[in-house]
């Protein structure tokens, strides 16, 4: 019965009952449209938060040395412990829980700054000696050039990677500084890269003021010998930084002849709390999106079902007429089902089309802020997975068909006389 004549019947019914068609269609259209916008927006927010939090969301531990507080093996307390390259080598050998170990050293004390200059221009910076791996511990976006690499380290090249603020202050934001020389404590370094930190607010200014040099170069030119200032480390997947930090300290205590229970000899700080807080934030956002999404879909399904139920009731009399003229119940049911599926498919497709266009429009409108990684925007390109959309549409179609089939079959049980009596 899927002939052109049946289609004509379907079209005619749909077109002649404009209000009902419009109501049903708009129910489905809005359901799909809102859900797409909602989920897309939700994903945009999630990605946005994800992007902006990626600068924080590492599970990092910092460990530095201090003074002993207890006598041990004939050594008196108050002894200053100095970390060296040998400690690094020992840790790499002995502590297998470590994912990334980055020995670091600074020119000034904690958060202290020193002058860096270009000709007569001077600004202040936090200068450190680092290895290439540090980049995975402190997420950053390279604007131009590159980060320190293994060759820089081996050849003790006098190169620096500078933060965006240093770049701006010394060169001006529009000048490419790569290849140019800057001076730190009268020693010339070649700029090899500029980075933007992936952090916000005060942190952003501070991190934009960082200047990275190769660790080996730093130790040589600033007369630090084999010294290491402190360690930054990330544990292997699945381990907490606290556990790994404890292992590191056991090894360091042995190497430096520190009493095992001397808790003051090494200091540490980790980002675990921060990390957990952000992870929970993500879970919250996810849960919210899904809750609202499912609620929207449910509302759509209920709305469409409702309209279908009413529509069938309204058409009782028409069905009675058709039956009195010789329509079989099956032919009436199949006609109504075809009407519903046609309507739902068209409205659903339009909903998808407009929803995706809506997302594209949101994307265009927010482009100026989302594409600027320096902006404090917790929003990114809104996206939506195709299978989510299709699943959703399928659910609506099935619901609408059921909401048609059940009352339509029921309507067919009624004798033509009764159906004709309906108003």
Partner 1 sequence: MGENRVRALDSVSLAIQRGEFVAVQGSSGSGKSTLLNILGILDSADSGSYTLDDTRMDNLSHRQAAQYRNQFIGFVFQTFNLIHHKSAVENVALPLYYQGVTRRKRNAIAMQYLERVGLADRASHKPSELSGGQSQRVAIARALITKPALILADEPTGALDSQTSEQIMQLFKEVNREGRTVLMVTHEEDIAQRTKRVIHMRDGMVISDTASAEPVS
Q: At its nearest, how many Å lie between partner 1 and the CB of residue 305?
A: 24
Alpha carbon 196 to its chain's center: 18
Considering the complex, state which of residue 257 and residue 421 has its C-beta at the smaller distance from partner 1: 421
Applying CB under 8 A, which of residues 345, 388, 416, 422 lies at the interface with partner 1? 416
User: Does 322 sit near partner 1 (CB under 8 A)?
Assistant: yes
The tokens of 364 are what?
């265009």
Q: Footprint of partner 1 on residues 385-414 (CB under 8 A)?
A: 412
Cβ atoms 127, 213 nearer than 8 A: yes
Structure tokens at 398: 């099935």
Using CB under 8 A, which of 190, 331, 342, 381 touches partner 1? 331
Smaller CB distance to partner 1: residue 14 or 258? 14
Q: Which two tokens stand for residue 172?
A: 């001006």
Binding residue (CB under 8 A) for partner 1 from 67, 154, 263, 324:
324
What residues from 6 to 65 belong to the interface with partner 1 (CB under 8 A)? Answer: 8-9, 12-13, 16-17
Pick from 2, 5, 19, 174: which binds partner 1 (CB under 8 A)? Answer: 5
Instruction: Give the binding range for partner 1 (CB under 8 A) out of 5-13, 105-113, 201-209, 245-253.
Output: 5-13
378 scored as a contact of partner 1 (CB under 8 A):
no
Kindly state the smallest distance separating residue 331's Cβ from partner 1, in Å.
7
Which of 238, 326, 386, 387 binds partner 1 (CB under 8 A)? It is 326
Residues 345-374 that bind partner 1 (CB under 8 A): none
State which H helix or E strand residue 146 sits in: none
Torsion of CA 185, 189, 191, 194, to 10 degrees: -40
User: Please, which contacts does 240-244 make with residues 24 or more away whose CB atoms are closer than 8 Å?
Assistant: 240/59, 240/272, 241/59, 241/60, 241/61, 241/270, 241/271, 241/272, 242/61, 242/270, 242/272, 243/97, 244/61, 244/95, 244/97, 244/98
What residues numbered 97-116 form the site for partner 1, per CB under 8 A? Answer: none
φ/ψ of 117, rounded to 5, equals -140, 155
Toward partner 1, which CB reaches closer, 5 or 202? 5
For partner 1, the closer of residues 16 and 223 by Cβ is 16
Q: Binding residue for partner 1 (CB under 8 A) from 2, 19, 325, 386?
A: 325
Q: Using CB under 8 A, which of 123, 184, 323, 403 touches partner 1? A: 323
Alpha-carbon span 360 to 376, nearest angstrom = 21
C-beta closer to partner 1: residue 68 or 340: 340
Check: CB of residue 271 under 8 Å from CB of residue 58: yes
Instruction: Give phi and psi for 140, each to the nearest 5.
Output: -150, 155
Q: Computed over its alpha carbons, how large is the radius of gyration of the chain?
A: 34
The only residue of 45, 289, 299, 327 in contact with partner 1, by rule CB under 8 A: 327
Place of tokens 């008196």: 76
Q: Is the distance from CB of 38 to CB of 292 less than 8 angstroms?
A: yes
Residue 385 or 418: the one with the smaller Cβ distance to partner 1 is: 418
What residue ranges bind partner 1 (CB under 8 A)?
A: 4-5, 8-9, 12-13, 16-17, 317-318, 320-331, 412, 415-417, 420
């Amino acid at each position: 019965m899927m002939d052109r004549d049946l289609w004509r019947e379907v079209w005619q019914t749909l077109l002649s009952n404009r209000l009902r068609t419009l109501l049903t269609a708009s129910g489905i259209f809005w359901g799909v449209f809102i859900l797409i916008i909602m989920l897309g927006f939700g994903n945009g927010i999630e990605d946005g938060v994800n992007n902006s939090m990626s600068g924080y969301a590492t599970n990092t531990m910092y460990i530095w040395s201090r003074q002993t507080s207890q006598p041990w093996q004939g050594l008196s307390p108050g002894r200053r412990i100095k970390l060296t390259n040998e400690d690094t080598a020992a840790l790499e050998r002995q502590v297998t829980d470590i994912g990334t170990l980055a020995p670091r050293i600074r020119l000034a004390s904690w958060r202290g700054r020193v002058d860096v200059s270009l000709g007569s221009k001077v600004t202040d910076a936090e200068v450190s000696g680092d290895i290439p791996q540090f980049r995975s511990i402190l997420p950053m976006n390279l604007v131009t050039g590159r980060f320190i690499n293994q060759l820089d380290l081996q050849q003790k090249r006098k190169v620096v990677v500078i933060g965006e603020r240093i770049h701006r202050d010394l060169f001006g934001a529009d000048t490419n500084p790569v290849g140019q020389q800057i001076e730190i404590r009268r020693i010339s370094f070649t700029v090899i890269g500029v980075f933007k930190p992936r952090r916000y607010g005060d942190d952003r200014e501070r991190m934009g003021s960082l200047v990275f040099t190769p660790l080996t170069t730093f130790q040589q030119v600033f007369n630090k010998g084999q010294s290491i200032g402190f360690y930054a480390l990330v544990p292997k997947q699945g381990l907490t930084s606290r556990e790994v930090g404890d292992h590191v300290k056991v090894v360091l205590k042995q190497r430096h002849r520190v009493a095992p229970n001397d808790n003051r000899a090494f200091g540490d700080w980790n980002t675990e709390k921060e990390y957990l807080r952000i992870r929970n934030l993500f879970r919250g956002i996810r849960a919210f999106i899904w809750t609202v999404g499912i609620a929207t879909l449910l509302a759509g399904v209920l709305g469409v079902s409702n309209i279908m139920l009413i529509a069938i009731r309204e058409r009782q009399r028409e069905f009675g007429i058709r039956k009195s003229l010789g329509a079989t119940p099956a032919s009436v049911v199949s006609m109504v089902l075809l009407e519903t599926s046609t309507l739902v498919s068209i409205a659903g497709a339009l909903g998808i089309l407009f929803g995706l266009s809506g997302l594209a429009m949101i994307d265009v409108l927010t482009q100026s802020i989302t594409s600027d990684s320096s902006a404090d925007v917790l929003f990114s390109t809104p996206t939506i997975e195709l299978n989510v959309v299709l699943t959703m549409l399928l659910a609506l179609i099935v619901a609408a068909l059921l909401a048609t089939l059940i009352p339509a079959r029921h309507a067919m049980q009624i004798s033509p006389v009764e159906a004709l009596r309906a108003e």
